[in-house]
Amino acid sequence: MKLILIVMIMIFNVSAYANSSASILLYHHVSDTTPKSTSISPKLFKQHLKYLEDNHFNVLPLEQIISSLKNKEKLPNKTVAITFDDAYKSVLYEAAVLLEKKSWPFSVFVNAQATSAKYKNYLSWNELKTIIKKGGTIGSHSYDHAHLVRKLKNESNKDYENRIYNNLKKDRDIIENKLDIKVKMFAYPYGEYNDFLKKTLKSFSYYGLGQQSGAVGQSSDFLAIPRFPMAMNYAKMNNFITRVNTLAFDIKNVNKAKVF
């Protein structure tokens, strides 16, 4: 009897978390011919989508998920967001084709420098307009995909802060101008951030997306939101299934231990 009671309490708690939790998936290339460390094959990507569909997941717009969690509003059980960093060609020609068929939203984080320079494998501004028509939302990923936490040699704090602020502003201004949209989300290049970067994102009224694994919940830091990277081993079906079914704990208090 005691055992049954304990199990029931656990089920109740899990269902409570399920309404205030989401998994955000992070992809780069969806291609068999790009670097393996940042790629998933179109075949495996299709299997991911099939799993989400067969198991009744709710693929919702990223910004909607984050603002619901921030405002302590309930989400449907099994909520997932799909994101792509760097805006590679295969996002439009492989992924978006499949996502559009299901009317599933997704987000793409753009470096204006790579897009403007028409680097190989990167989407053009016109192609990004097509992404938006297919249900994509565009976010910023810094102007030049720099290691934003790194100070240059002999750079003062003030110069570092000005450089980073200008980098983020330049990316935002170009994206907004080229695509006629408002940028509201930022994905840290390489998932690297520090207190100054978080403060800067706050001044832009951005949500900040990291690359650390974990589900996002109501008590998450919305300037450093976790995402599950999907490439190599992490993208295999058994790992994918674990990640999309992960729930965020609602953390009430964090006590930092003193380090002597």
Residues lying near Zn ion in the complex (CB under 5 A): 85-86, 189
**Please, which residues have CB within 8 angstroms of residue 32's CB and are 6 or more apart in sequence?**
39, 41, 42
Give the residue carrying structure tokens 């029931």: 8
Nearer to Zn ion, 85 or 171 (CB): 85
Judged by beta carbon, residue 147 or residue 236, the one nearer Zn ion is 147
Residue closest to Zn ion when measured from CB atoms: 85
Query: Given the complex with Zn ion, which of 190 and 196 has the nearer CB atom?
Result: 190
Least CB distance to Zn ion at residue 55 (A): 29
Nearer to Zn ion, 85 or 94 (CB): 85
Cα distance between residue 195 and residue 33, in whole Å: 37
Helix (H, G, I), strand (E, B) or coil at 5: helix
**Least separation in angstroms between CB 237 and Zn ion:** 25
Min dist CB 91 to Zn ion, Å, is 12
Question: β-strand 207-209 against 136-140: which pairing, if any?
Answer: unpaired
What does residue 215 show for φ and ψ, rounded to 5 degrees? -80, 155
In the complex, the smallest distance separating the C-beta of residue 179 from Zn ion, rounded to whole angstroms, is 18
Dihedral sign for Cα atoms in the order 157, 158, 159, 163: positive
**Residue closer to Zn ion, measured from CB, 86 or 171:** 86
Could you tell me the smallest distance in angstroms from the CB atom of residue 28 to Zn ion? 7
87 backbone dihedrals φ, ψ, rounded to 5°: 60, 60
Say how far apart CA 238 and CA 259 lie, in whole Å: 38
- Nearer to Zn ion by Cβ, of 189 and 229: the residue is 189
The beta-strand segments (E) located in 56-191 are 58-59, 79-85, 106-110, 136-140, 185-187
Give the residue with the Cβ less far from Zn ion, 22 or 26: 26
Q: Find the shortest distance in angstroms from Cβ 1 to Zn ion.
A: 54
CB of 56 to Zn ion, least distance (A): 31
3-state secondary structure 39-55: EECHHHHHHHHHHHHHC
